[in-house]
């Protein structure tokens, strides 16, 4: 299966991609994660991307497209956070046509903006194992500490409310037009992201029923 997960910041793309990867044995290609790893290790790509990310703006299309095309080697994958603009979607379509690997489906997570803001205010990632958690909605057993490995929980730099609001605006301006783009291609499946993690996973699985 070749899937795209799209949705506003905080909709649960990363969380649900993890479940789909395990369930269907797919590669997980998350552009935000690739950028954050590059920022952390101080590469040229990371230095270039960091100012855009900190402001809640998109990294320029040509940079993202080049990076994703290089990562697209697997037969089955979940793209998480890409494409985010029409030019990115056209570049992906061209690349997949050239390699005769059409998309199976585009899963669009829908969520009320205020719920997304609340989720992101409480999001923390483990600095050791990378596990994503939420200190408001599902507090860890020991404050500031990962329940899985004991690592330190950290907040993402772009999760302050001002930047989150800007990221939501950017989503509406640049990414929402993709819903029409993929509906016209018969690939779009809308999935309500308001519910427990397990409920949302089951909705995604139901939306993929019959797909291979
Ligand atoms: P990216 O990392 O992709 O961020 P995003 O799209 O803003 O999405 P998030 O990671 O914030 O949210 P998510 O939907 O994955 O939610 P999560 O599962 O973590 O991109 C960051 C930046 O990189 C961009 O702003 C841009 O600058 C750049 N970038 C990346 N891709 C790019 C591209 N293609 N082009 C240009 N620039 C690009 O969940 C959020 C929280 O909610 C967590 O705490 C989680 O535990 C909780 N949660 C999840 N599901 C549930 C549930 N069902 N119920 C309750 N809580 C839940």
User: 121-164: per-residue pLDDT in tens?
Assistant: 999 999 999 889 999 998 999 999 999 999 999 999 999 999 99
At residue 145, the pLDDT reads 97
At residue 70, the pLDDT reads 86
Instruction: Tell me which of 4, 8, 15, 16 to substitute to probe ligand 1's pocket, judged by most ligand atoms within 8 Å of the beta carbon.
Output: 15
The span from the CA of 98 to the CA of 205, in Å, is 28
Share of the chain above pLDDT 90, in %: 92
pLDDT of residue 211 exceeding 90, the answer is: no
At residue 210, the pLDDT reads 81
Task: Determine the average pLDDT of the residues in 167-194.
Answer: 98
For ligand 1, is residue 12 a contact (CB within 6 Å)?
Answer: yes
CB 187 within 8 A of CB 103: yes
The span from the CA of 77 to the CA of 80, in Å, is 9
Nearest CA to ligand 1 atom 46: 133
- Mean pLDDT of all residues belonging to the chain: 95
Strands 123-126 and 132-134: antiparallel
- CA nearest to 89, candidates 169, 4, 170, 190: 4
Judge whether 36 counts as a catalytic residue: no
- CA 167 / ligand 1 centre spacing (Å): 10
- 181 pLDDT band (50/70/90 cuts)? very high
Instruction: List phi, psi (to 5°) of 177.
Output: -55, -20
List the catalytic residue out of 84, 119, 124, 203: 84
User: 96-111: per-residue pLDDT in tens?
Assistant: 999 999 999 999 999 9
- 74 pLDDT band (50/70/90 cuts)? confident
Q: Six-digit token pair at 105?
A: 């489906």
Task: Determine the average pLDDT of the residues in 17-32.
Answer: 96
For ligand 1, is residue 14 a contact (CB within 6 Å)?
Answer: yes
Single pTM value for the model = 0.95
């Amino acid at each position: 299966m070749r899937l795209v997960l799209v949705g506003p910041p905080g909709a649960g793309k990363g969380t649900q991609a993890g479940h789909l990867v395990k369930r269907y044995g797919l590669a997980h290609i998350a552009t935000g994660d690739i950028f954050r790893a590059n920022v952390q290790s101080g590469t040229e790509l990371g230095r270039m991307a960091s100012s855009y990310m900190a402001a809640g703006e998109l990294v320029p299309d040509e940079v993202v497209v080049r990076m994703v095309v290089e990562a697209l080697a697997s037969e089955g994958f979940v793209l998480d956070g890409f494409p985010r603009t029409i030019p990115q979607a056209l570049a992906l379509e061209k690349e997949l046509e050239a390699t005769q690997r059409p998309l199976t489906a585009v899963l669009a997570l829908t969520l009320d903006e205020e719920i997304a803001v609340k989720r992101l205010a409480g999001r923390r990632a483990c600095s050791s194992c990378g596990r994503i958690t939420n200190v408001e909605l599902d507090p860890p057993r020991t404050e500031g500490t990962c329940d899985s490995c004991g690592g330190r929980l950290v907040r993402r730099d772009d999760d302050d409310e001002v930047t989150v609001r800007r990221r939501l605006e950017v989503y509406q301006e640049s990414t929402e037009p993709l819903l029409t783009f993929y509906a016209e291609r018969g690939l779009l499946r809308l999935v309500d992201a308001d519910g427990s993690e397990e409920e949302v996973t089951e909705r995604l699985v139901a939306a993929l029923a019959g797909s291979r």
